[in-house]
A and B are shown apart, each in its own frame.
Chain A
């Protein structure tokens, strides 16, 4: 059974710092890995999606990398801002079946302080 772990569970950084969020998964037979952002009381917003054949994806100040062989992904946030404060979740989709059934980590709660 796939297990997804995110460390740390919570992180507080001052504005302007670059930071890295970690995601690890136990079964490397994945189809894709997605990073989501969740604001309090809200749904999940997709940030980046990395296909299993890719090594990284970038969107603005966000860069996500994938090392399938070691079962790891990182989300790099450059020049953090208070508006980046949210919970960040990673999820993997298995490389079997067709239904994109994601397994989620429990998230990293990020607070960016002024």
Chain B
């Protein structure tokens, strides 16, 4: 059981380049999230999705776009990378929403380390 898989694990970009991070989960989870982790700032929510075809903004959405065309995949895109987007990006998923009495336990991927020069 793979759980939550992120690709790529490492990437170096030049300022202005674009790229997409892929998150795939095989647990049939409804909710998926993208976080970034920076030293001294903890994890911050970028965007999230409550189901196939839906996305919503989190705490720090500027400069990122997302898509959830299939339930198992959640893509995070950077259209024009900036040095401030150098970070470690984590994808997470959970089975059910609170409204459906899910526990809300999150499962995380291993992370994608992005450096923007």
Chain A positions within 8 Å of B, measured between CB atoms, are 4, 31-32, 34, 36, 41-46, 49, 51, 89, 91, 93, 97-102, 104-107
Contact = CB atoms under 8 A, between A and B. Distances in A.
Interface of B: 4, 31, 33, 40-45, 48, 50, 56, 58, 90, 92, 94, 97-99, 102-111
A43 B110 contact: yes
A64 B40 CA distance: 24
B104 A49 contact: yes
B40 A99 contact: no
Contacts of B50: 98-99
Nearest to A33: B104
Nearest to A1: B59
Contacts of B105: 34, 46, 49
Contacts of A44: 43, 90, 92, 106, 108
26 contacts: A31-B98, A32-B103, A32-B104, A36-B108, A41-B111, A42-B110, A44-B106, A46-B105, A49-B104, A49-B105, A89-B42, A93-B98, A93-B104, A98-B50, A98-B98, A98-B99, A99-B50, A100-B31, A100-B94, A100-B102, A100-B106, A101-B33, A101-B58, A102-B106, A104-B43, A107-B42
Contacts of A89: 42-43
B108 A45 contact: yes
